[in-house]
Structure 1
C-alpha cells in the first residue's frame, strides 16, 4: 500500500478520475484503488447492516475509535444518477469522517430502472430511521444527526431535509436533523435531459414538487452546500448557489463553498487522504458538523 501511494502522484489520481468521468465513484476501479490507500486504524467497521428487507436496503457503519462521549453521526448517500452505485465504493468517505470523530452510515438504496422516484427517497428515509433507532449503540447524540450526499445522493439528502413527506413516512421530522450537507447536488433539474434520469423520474411526467428548491421554508434545517466551480455535470449556479440563496432568503442558516481546482467527481474524492490537498472539503464538513448549536 505504501509503495502504491508513493508512486501514484496527485496528478496521476486526477487523471484517473477525470478519464473515468462521473461514474468514477460508483464501484469502478478508481474508487477501488483509492479505497486501497485509505487507512483502517481510525474506525471500527460494521458492514452489511440491513435497514429493510430488500437486498439493496443495507448500510455500512464506520464508528470512530476512541470517542468517549456521544457525538455526531452522518448518514451518507452516494451519487450515480439514481442508476448506479454501491456503498463499498465509499469507504474513503466513512474513514474520512470517522478520522475526525464522526460516526458514519453509508447507505445503499434501490436504483432505477428497477424502481422509480420516489422509492429511492423512501429507502433513504428508512436508512435514517434505522440510524435514529440505533443511536445508543452507535455512540451518537440524537441532537447531532446529519444527512449528507454527493450528486444524486445530495438530492436524496436535500429532500429528506426539506420535504417533510419522506421522513413522515418513516416516523420522523426534518426538525430532528441537526443539518444537511450537499456536495454538487442537483436541486433544480427540470426539464430532464439525461436519459437515465428521465427513466428514474418518469419524465415528462415528473412532478414539479420533486425538486428540492420548492420545499425550502423557514423551518428547514441548517445546510452546508459544497460545489465545484468548474462542474459540467451539475451546474453550481443553478443548483448550489440558488439553493443557498433560497435558504438564506427563508432565514435558514446556510454556508456555501464553491471550490476551484476540483470537478464534479474530485469534489467528493477530495475527502480521501491521498487527495485532501485538492480542496478543504473534509475540514469544511467537520467545521459545520462540530459547530456548537443552541
Structure 2
C-alpha cells in the first residue's frame, strides 16, 4: 500500500510538473505584439536642421528593413515634408518597412554642401544603428532621394557605405556627374548657380569626388534611376551615363526615362514610377 501511495504521489508530481512546463512553454511561445510607433523631429545632431521623422511598423522585428528618404531643393532648400507623399505610400503599400524621413543642413554662402550633407547622412545611419534595439529594426537600409537628395543618396551609397549597409538606392532626377560637358559648358545662369555651390572653377578631381558617376564601383548596391527628357536642371546624360556606367560595372540597375517629363512628373508616369520602385524595393531591400 505504501508503495502504491508513493507511486501515485510521484505520478501526481510528474503530471503537475509537465502541466506547469506546458503552461510555461505556451506563455513563452506567445509573441509580444509591437505596436506601430512614430517619432517626429528626432535630433541626430546639434543643428536645428539635423532632425528626422521615423515611422516604425507594427509587429516589427530586428529583421525589419529601413527606407531613408532624402529630399531635394538644390542643396540649399527643401524640407523632409516634401517627401511626405513617398512616406505615405510606403506606409500604405509596404507595411512591413520602417521609414526614416530626414532633414539635413542646408548649404549657403558659408557652408558648401560637401562634405557637410554627406556627414549628416552618416550621422543618421549611425544613429539608427546605435538605437537599433530600441527601434526594433535591422541594420539594412535603402535610400529614396529626389533631385539633390538623389545625388546625396547615390554618393553616400557608392562612396561612404563602408559597412555595406545599403542594399538599394533610388535616384529620381538626381545629378550624377559634375564633369558632364552639359554642366561644364552650360550657358544657363540658374543652372550654373547651383553648380557653383561646389566651388567656383573647382578642380576636376574634386568634381569627380562629389560625382556618383565617378565613385561607383562593382560593389555599388542595386540602383534604380528615373529621369525626365525635358528636365531643365538635369540633362538626360546625367541619367543615361549613370546607367551605362552601372552596366559596365555589372551592378544591378534599372533605368527609366520619361521623354516628355521635366524635373518631376504626375499622372500615369508617376504611377509607373511607384510600381517600378515598389517592386525594386521588395526585391532588393
TM range (shorter): 0.7 to 0.9
Aligned to 1:263: 262
Would you say 1:151 and 2:140 are equivalent positions? no
- Cα distance 1:232–1:177, how it changes in 2: closer, same or farther (>3 A)? same
Aligned to 2:72: 79
SS in 2 for 1:118: helix
Per-residue deviation at 1:278? 3.7
Give yes or no for contact 2:73–2:148 (8 Å, CA) kept in 1. Answer: yes
Aligned to 2:253: 254
Per-residue deviation at 1:291? 0.8
Point out where structure 1 has 5 or more consecutive residues left out of the alignment. 1-42, 168-172
Q: Which deviations, in whole Å up to 9, do the C-alpha atoms of 1:35-74 show, x marking residues without a partner?
A: xxxxxxxx75311001111111111112335657733211
What is the aligned counterpart of 1:283 among 247, 266, 275? 275
What is the aligned counterpart of 2:40 among 25, 33, 47? 47
Give yes or no for contact 1:81–1:196 (8 Å, CA) kept in 2. Answer: no
Q: Which deviations, in whole Å up to 9, do the C-alpha atoms of 1:76-101 show, x marking residues without a partner?
A: 11111101011123222211112122
Per-residue deviation at 1:234? 0.8
Would you say 1:178 and 2:167 are equivalent positions? yes
Would you say 1:213 and 2:213 are equivalent positions? yes
Give yes or no for contact 1:73–1:145 (8 Å, CA) kept in 2. Answer: yes
* RMSD, aligned α-carbons: 2.5
Cα distance between partner residues in 1 of 2:123 and 2:54: 15
Would you say 1:129 and 2:118 are equivalent positions? no
SS in 1 for 2:90: helix
What is the aligned counterpart of 1:89 among 82, 96, 101? 82
Aligned to 2:33: none
- Structure-1-length-normalised TM-score: 0.72
Give yes or no for contact 2:170–2:225 (8 Å, CA) kept in 1. Answer: yes
Q: Higher mean Cα deviation, 186-195 or 104-113?
A: 186-195
Give yes or no for contact 2:70–2:83 (8 Å, CA) kept in 1. Answer: no
Point out where structure 2 has 5 or more consecutive residues left out of the alignment. 1-35
SS in 1 for 2:264: helix
Cα distance between partner residues in 2 of 1:278 and 1:292: 21
Task: Say which structure, 1 or 2, has more relative contact order (CA 8 Å, 6+ apart).
Answer: 1
- Structure-2-length-normalised TM-score: 0.74
Comparing both structures, which one devotes a greater share of its residues to helix?
2
Aligned to 1:107: 102
SS in 2 for 1:203: coil
Give yes or no for contact 1:160–1:174 (8 Å, CA) kept in 2. Answer: no
Q: Higher mean Cα deviation, 256-265 or 91-100?
A: 256-265
- Cα distance 1:279–1:134, how it changes in 2: closer, same or farther (>3 A)? same
Give yes or no for contact 1:74–1:145 (8 Å, CA) kept in 2. Answer: yes
Per-residue deviation at 1:128? 2.0
Cα distance between partner residues in 2 of 1:288 and 1:139: 24
